[in-house]
Chains A and B, each alone.
Chain A
């Protein structure tokens, strides 16, 4: 089991540039989550998908951020244009959601190694 795969692991870019972060969830998982971690704000949920459909994007900071999940094995988080305050570690996580009201493994999430983004 390869786990959740994120790329790139490190990204350094200049203000105003477009940044695309990529995530491959664990095979068979049907939920995918994007988080941002900073010293000041801790771990923040940005958006999550169930069965490739965005469920809650209330954590997305502003319109410069967008996320897509075109299929069950791939998701992207895009920042356009990037700003220095976007510098953070971005994590992707996946889980197997059995459905509302269904007991089982519940909402255990498996995290990727993260992408450290630096915007100069």
Chain B
């Protein structure tokens, strides 16, 4: 069965510092991978997605993520964090075959300090 692990529950970074949020997935075949962001009181918004091809994908708001099959990882990165990036971030995995639902991680809450 598919599953997603986000090992960091809460991360605090200084504004302007770089950011990396970790995501590990479990799935036997080629996964679809997603990162969503949830601002307080809001729904989830898609940041970026990986289906196939280039393993480094670019998303909105200056985020990128790299798919590493050998490590079963899909870590989210941003070179310079802005205060507005403070939010909850969710990694999710979907599959090409079988059910079309997504499996979400438990989320990582990002705090940005001045």
Residues of A within 8 A of B (CB): 4, 31, 33, 42-43, 45, 48, 50, 55-56, 91, 93, 95, 97, 100-101, 103, 105-114
Chain B residues with CB below 8 A from A48, complex form: 100-101
User: Chain B: interface residue count, which band?
Assistant: 20 to 34
With A43-B104, A107-B32, A108-B49 as contacts: A100 and B97 at CB distance below 8 Å: yes
B residues within 8 Å of A by Cβ? 32, 34, 36, 42-46, 49, 51-52, 90, 94-102, 104, 106-107
Given A42-B107, A100-B97, does the pair A109, B43 have CB atoms closer than 8 Å? Answer: no
CB < 8 Å neighbour of A106 from B45, B96, B99: B96
Contact A91 B44 (CB under 8 A): yes
Task: Report the Cα distance A9→B107, complex, angstroms.
Answer: 23
Instruction: Name which residue of chain B comes closest to A109, CB basis.
Output: B102
A112 to B45, CA, bound (A): 9
Nearest A-chain residue to B92, judged by Cβ: A109
- Closest B residue by C-beta to A106: B32
B38 to chain A, nearest CB (A): 8
Name which of B32, B44, B94 has the most chain A CB atoms within 10 A of its CB. B44
Pair B98/A100 contact, Cβ less than 8 Å: yes
A93 to chain B, nearest CB (A): 8
| Minimal Cβ-Cβ distance residue in A for B33 | A106
